[in-house]
């Protein structure tokens, strides 16, 4: 499954351009990984979440998770897909969605989901560059009373994000690192 996913990312999610892309972090890069090409395509998302639940979590030492959550929108489909994979095992593992900004009406919540039911959450992101989005989600979850000490992502771009997240007391376990893709074309 992991090799198949790597090839799907290489084929569908990776792009190179002489004109640099601006990343969510604000950094510029000629290499862009748009993992929405994985998470927003049903069969690819299913493969990803099956890999996470059946292999990746145990390799990372993550057992009996109560919830998976992260900043909308990168984490949303992954969290939902993981929850559905656990349902196949007759387990309820909840998705938690962290808004980028709190609602200005109603309860004004920043975190949506079963926050009164779960005590801890595995943080989720698709791609980590500087870690800013992941850290924003970690802090929002903690402010909601949820413990966050572990996380997963599809890809670590190896640009300092993992170290920044570790400083928040969270260990992230990427499925892939940028270096797993070998010498990317035009490096």
- pLDDT score for 106: 55
The predicted model scores a pTM of 0.89
Per-residue model confidence as pLDDT tens digits over 133-176:
999 999 999 999 999 999 999 999 898 999 999 999 999 999 99
* Domains delineated in the chain: 2-179 (3.40.50.2020)
Q: What letter would DSSP give residue 147?
A: B
CA 49 – CA 80 distance, rounded (Å)? 9
> For the residues of 120-145, what is the DSSP string, one character each?
B-EEEEEEESSSHHHHHHHHHHHHTT
Q: What is the pLDDT of residues 166-177, one digit of tens each?
A: 999 999 999 999
Number of C-alpha atoms within 13 angstroms, CB side, residue 54? 13
């Amino acid at each position: 499954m992991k090799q198949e996913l790597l090839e799907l990312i290489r084929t569908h999610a990776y792009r190179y351009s002489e004109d640099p892309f601006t990343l969510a972090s604000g950094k510029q890069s000629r290499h862009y990984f748009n993992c929405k090409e994985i998470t927003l395509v049903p069969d690819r998302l299913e493969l990803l979440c099956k890999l996470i639940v059946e292999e990746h979590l145990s390799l990372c030492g993550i057992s009996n998770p109560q919830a998976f959550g992260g900043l909308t929108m990168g984490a949303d489909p992954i969290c939902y897909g993981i929850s559905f994979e656990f349902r196949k095992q007759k387990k309820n593992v909840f998705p938690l969605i962290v808004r980028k900004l709190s609602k200005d009406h109603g309860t004004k919540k920043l975190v949506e989901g079963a926050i009164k039911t779960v005590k801890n959450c595995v943080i989720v992101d698709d791609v980590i560059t500087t870690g800013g989005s992941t850290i924003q989600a970690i802090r929002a979850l903690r402010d909601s009373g949820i413990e966050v000490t572990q996380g997963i992502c599809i890809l670590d771009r190896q640009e300092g994000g993992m170290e920044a997240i570790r400083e928040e007391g969270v260990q992230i376990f990427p499925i892939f690192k940028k270096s797993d893709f070998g010498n990317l074309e035009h490096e």
